[in-house]
Structure 1
Amino acid sequence: MFTVAALYRFTPFDDPAALAPGIEAVARDGGVTGTLLLATEGLNGTVAGPGEGIAALLAHLRGLPGCADLEPKLSTATERPFARLKVRLKREIVTMGQPGVDPRAATGHYVSPSQWTEFIRDPEVAVIDTRNAYEVAIGTFEGAIDPGTDSFRDFPAWWAANRDRFHNRKIAMFCTGGIRCEKSTNWLLSQGVEEVYHLEGGILKYLEEVPEAESAWQGECFVFDGRVSVGHGLREGPHILCHACRRPIRPEDRQHPDYEEGVACHHCAAETSAEDKARFRERQRQIALARARGETHLAAEASED
């Protein structure tokens, strides 16, 4: 059994590149894999490993500037959900692409998981899912609005085109772990929206704390690791990943005529050319050969990016 830690922290790092080697060393020593992103605005990532390795890494991270009270969302996985460790330097730890966005300055009002269900059922509240469309497709909160965005950087344009729909309404937003809402609520405040709220700890905290019988959540929650999805109690969900388009699919979707492992699924079969599919088939052939040798092919690892 592996411990999975999803975490983020907005805090100023003067020189994130100087922090990376120490983080990587502690993680490798503890058998931890996954991805950690570092930028001048802070830290973000999901990692997994033995309990002791995760504990050592979290202790190290809490020693970084402004990270003493770092609170990860912890869950478990029956199989290692990441093939390798990546510690990367980025311009943003979650990309919104909007100048001046600073969650350290101001964010929306937090709504605890225990209060969220009742809060979003208020007819004066507009509930907006800030995640990508493929995430929303497998699960969301009842009554939530799906912006249909392909990436988080598309959210500001969607809001600009739709803001009149929400005149004089409270805005409640949510995402997987909370990081996207930290930025989106700060941005909405800068746009003059006065009543902005977001789910404290994100969907993961809600699924961990709120009993299924009392829940307003419908479906599964997409996660960016080998488990693909989780449900109430953070139990591993049924989804697998199409490694051609990186969308979640159910095991039974492999029986669809459009499905070919590593090449296409019913979501993406019409989106790629014959040349694309030929390239994917060759990649899948190389992955199969590597597996037969007991190795992990780089293309299989890249599918986690």
Structure 2
Amino acid sequence: MMPDHFTVIAFYEFKRIKSKFIKYKKQFNNFCNEKNIRGTIILSPEGINGTVAGLNDSINEFSVLLNKFNFNNTEIKYSYTKIMPFYKLKIKLKEEIVPFANKVKNPAKTGKFIKPKDWNNLIKDDSVLVIDVRNKYETKIGRFKNSVDPKTHNFIEFNNFIKSKLSKNKDQNIAMYCTGGIRCEKASAYMLQEGFKNIYQLEGGILKYLEEIDQKNTLWEDECFVFDNRVSVKNEMSLG
């Protein structure tokens, strides 16, 4: 039995699906309305990105549907809440599942993934530059100790930060993190494309770290902003 009434999943996968994403919109819409699943799903030729909530059995069936559509490597983060965190279902068709200022030739060619259990050891190394890829509103709520805040208004501006602040760091070990991992994948793919050599990213993002690392061992400070009515969550995915 789940500890709370609703299951919330945040998920994404970079996968070339071309024109199929238009067909998927109708199928996701029909399924989610039938199962009373709410949230936001973004579909594009480069893949899928979303956060949805519903009863646990319905969310399990939704995960099966993702596999049916050949999203077999989808990064999924789970949390639980007593209230439905979304007012309605929104399914959007976009050119990109996460917009970036520059063309990323191969979003699947990313930095090295670091599992949450290994993340602390990496960022404790003084030679590693730790960068928060999120915007300045999100970083005000919480971030990892000693991480760099680019102070951006949105993810598109992160490209300017790379060019203006990191051009001399192409040989340095750089560890990046974001809420669920998707922005780091896009940013790390671009940075590798631009000649950066040693890029690492937190697998599953902050949400997976908070899910797996207990309060005693965490290096996370304060809360993590989430894109639903809960506003933020804390260690072990408790409500912020």
Is the pair's TM-score, using the shorter chain for normalization, greater than 0.5? yes
Aligned to 1:8: 12
Whole-Å separation in 2 of the counterparts to 1:193 and 1:156: 14
- Indicate if the aligned counterparts of 2:132 and 2:176 stay in contact, CA closer than 8 A: yes
- Indicate if the aligned counterparts of 1:204 and 1:234 stay in contact, CA closer than 8 A: yes
| 2:58 counterpart SS class | helix
Deviation at 1:167, TM superposition (A): 5.5
Aligned to 1:123: 126
Aligned to 2:99: 95
CA gap 1:108/1:71 in 2 versus in 1, 3 angstroms: closer
Counterpart amino acid of 1:95?
Answer: P
TM-score by length of 1: 0.75
Aligned to 1:41: 46
- Residue-by-residue CA offset, 1:265-287 (whole Å, 9 max, x unaligned): xxxxxxxxxxxxxxxxxxxxxxx
Whole-Å separation in 1 of the counterparts to 2:55 and 2:187: 34
Q: Which of residues 168, 173, 178 in structure 2 aligns to 1:170? A: 173
**Which structure: greater strand fraction?**
2
Deviation at 1:166, TM superposition (A): 3.0
Deviation at 1:86, TM superposition (A): 0.7
CA gap 1:61/1:167 in 2 versus in 1, 3 angstroms: closer
User: How many residues matched?
Assistant: 235
- Indicate if the aligned counterparts of 1:23 and 1:61 stay in contact, CA closer than 8 A: no
- Indicate if the aligned counterparts of 2:104 and 2:186 stay in contact, CA closer than 8 A: no
Q: Which has the higher contact order (CA 8 A, sep 6+)?
A: 2
Deviation at 1:164, TM superposition (A): 4.3
TM-score by length of 2: 0.95
Question: Aligned-pair RMSD on alpha carbons?
Answer: 1.2
Aligned to 2:204: 201
- Is residue 70 of structure 2 the alignment partner of residue 58 of structure 1? no
Moved over 6 A (4+): none
- Indicate if the aligned counterparts of 2:170 and 2:196 stay in contact, CA closer than 8 A: no
User: Whose radius of gyration is greater, 1 or 2?
Assistant: 1
- Indicate if the aligned counterparts of 2:177 and 2:206 stay in contact, CA closer than 8 A: yes
- Is residue 158 of structure 2 the alignment partner of residue 155 of structure 1? yes
| 2:31 counterpart SS class | helix
Whole-Å separation in 2 of the counterparts to 1:25 and 1:63: 15
- Where structure 1 has 5 or more consecutive residues not aligned to the other structure, the ranges are 238-305
| 1:6 counterpart SS class | strand
Q: Which of residues 172, 180, 183 in structure 2 aligns to 1:180? A: 183
